[in-house]
């Protein structure tokens, strides 16, 4: 169950070995020890989850996974199930990241199945949504993102919404060094929020909505000050302990 606090989630993507993970977290944890009032999590590759879980034990930093399969067990070579992740101490799981949609054939249908698999195992799915630059230029960004949100949460019970996170990641801002303006961010977060509450009513207010897309120490304070932003999904900057610690310790005047 989430409590509505901002969530700072670092997505390491396909970086680091288990030994590198242990060393990195040994550097990171002292840097964020005094950070309060927000949830912090890191999402290493599958091969590093066990090492990360051991390094994070007893700390305030949670463990996340970068993906999950939609069945709990079976003849699915190479797949990792939600119960497997839960047993490793994973709390959050990223689903529908734009890179998986692009490179691994992820669809809105499989995202919905993965959301339900995560919820069955008491994991918190972090549902990624976002538009290509062509959709934004043509004025279809709101429509595209609304559709992704609705299809991802299609079978979600209102009582489960407190365990759902949505991460808005404009695809044109991922790994490009380009960050959406505060107005862009606030506008799309308002669209996401209004769509969830239109469908689910009051319980929809429990969903945390994050921003992801070239989040850095230089941009974090402005991003977190944008109306409706309840945290960030961090890519490249989460691979540098000092940068990620600064992001986790964001300041909003």
Query: What positions carry a catalytic annotation?
Result: 97, 169
**Separation between Cα atoms, residue 8 and residue 247, nearest integer Å:** 8
**Separation between Cα atoms, residue 88 and residue 80, nearest integer Å:** 12
**Separation between Cα atoms, residue 192 and residue 135, nearest integer Å:** 16
Which residues in 12-85 belong to E strands, given as ranges?
39-43, 61-65
Tell me phi and psi for residue 215, to 5 degrees: -80, 130
Token pair recorded at residue 52:
């990360």
**Separation between Cα atoms, residue 240 and residue 82, nearest integer Å:** 28
Compute how many other C-beta atoms are within 10 angstroms of the C-beta atom of residue 224: 21
Helix (H, G, I), strand (E, B) or coil at 143: helix
Helix (H, G, I), strand (E, B) or coil at 150: helix
Token pair recorded at residue 185:
């961010």
Token pair recorded at residue 212:
């992801």
Q: 8, 5, 1, 6: which is closest to 247 by C-alpha?
A: 8
């Amino acid at each position: 169950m989430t409590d509505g606090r901002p969530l700072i989630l670092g997505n390491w993507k396909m970086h680091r070995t288990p030994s590198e993970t242990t060393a990195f977290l040994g550097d990171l944890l002292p840097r964020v020890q005094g950070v309060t009032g927000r949830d912090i999590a890191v999402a290493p590759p599958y091969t590093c989850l066990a090492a990360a879980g051991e390094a994070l034990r007893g700390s305030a930093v949670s463990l996340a996974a970068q993906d999950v399969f939609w069945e709990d067990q079976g003849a699915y070579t190479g797949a990792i199930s939600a119960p497997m992740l839960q047993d490793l101490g994973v709390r959050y799981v990223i689903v529908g990241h734009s890179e998986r949609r692009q490179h691994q054939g992820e669809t809105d249908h499989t995202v919905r199945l993965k959301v339900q698999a995560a919820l069955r195992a008491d994991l918190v799915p972090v549902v990624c949504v976002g538009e290509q630059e062509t959709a934004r230029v043509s004025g279809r960004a709101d429509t595209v993102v609304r559709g992704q949100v609705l299809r991802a949460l299609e079978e979600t019970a209102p009582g489960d919404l407190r365990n759902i996170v949505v991460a808005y990641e404009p695809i044109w801002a991922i790994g490009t060094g380009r960050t959406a303006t505060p107005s862009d961010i606030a506008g799309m977060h308002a669209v996401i929020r209004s769509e969830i509450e239109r469908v689910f009513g009051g319980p929809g207010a429990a969903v945390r909505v994050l921003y992801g897309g070239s989040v850095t120490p230089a941009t974090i304070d402005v991003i977190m000050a944008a109306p409706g932003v309840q945290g960030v999904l961090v890519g490249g900057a989460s691979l540098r302990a000092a940068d990620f610690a600064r992001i986790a310790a964001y300041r909003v005047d």
